[in-house]
Amino acid sequence: MENQPTLEAQEMDPNSMEEVLLCRKKDGAVLPLHGGGGEVGLSRFFYSNKRFDSAMMAFLECVKELADLLAAAAEDRSKDRAICRLFPFPELPYEIEGDRVGGFSIRLQLNQDERWTKALKLLLIDMKWLLEYIERICLVTGAAP
């Protein structure tokens, strides 16, 4: 079997025992990508949002790393396959930089709802572009990038 590229910093776990998506760091820390809802009082504003922010930043890092892996694979293949020259890796419409997508922070804590929602919208658009690219390459080549 060919050596497949993997994400370095995080591991997504969609089949966890909980009914939520988890982001598991390589050091073993588990970051739930959900609000939980079990916290009461002031802790719900600080502790849960901080954990959620860490999970969202880890998820954003996964998306950025996936984009980088796909871009590197496209660059690699363009030397050998004409088909990949026809379908070069598209530049994402919104730059992912640190905890920001298109200049909007993905952090919920100390952020305005409208700006956080905008960051999520831009992240979804970037993810849609990645999915479209993967589908196009898989349909044309019959293999995953």
Contacts of 60 (CB under 8 A, 6+ apart): 96, 99, 101, 106, 123
- 19 band by pLDDT with thresholds 50, 70 and 90: very low
pTM of the model: 0.75
Is residue 95 one of the residues assigned to a domain?
A: yes
Structural domain harbouring 92: 10-141
CA distances from 129 to 38, 57, 82 (A): 35, 19, 21
Residue 51 maps to a domain:
yes
Token couple for 2: 């060919």
pLDDT digits (tens, 9 = 90+) for 31-68: 777 765 555 444 545 556 787 888 889 889 889 988 99
Mean pLDDT along residues 130-134: 90
Structurally, the chain folds into a number of domains equal to: 1
The torsion of the CA quartet 122, 113, 54, 45, rounded to 10 degrees, works out to: -170
Rounded to whole angstroms, the maximal C-alpha distance in the chain is 60
3-class state of residue 96 by DSSP: strand
Percentage of the chain lying above the pLDDT 90 cut:
26
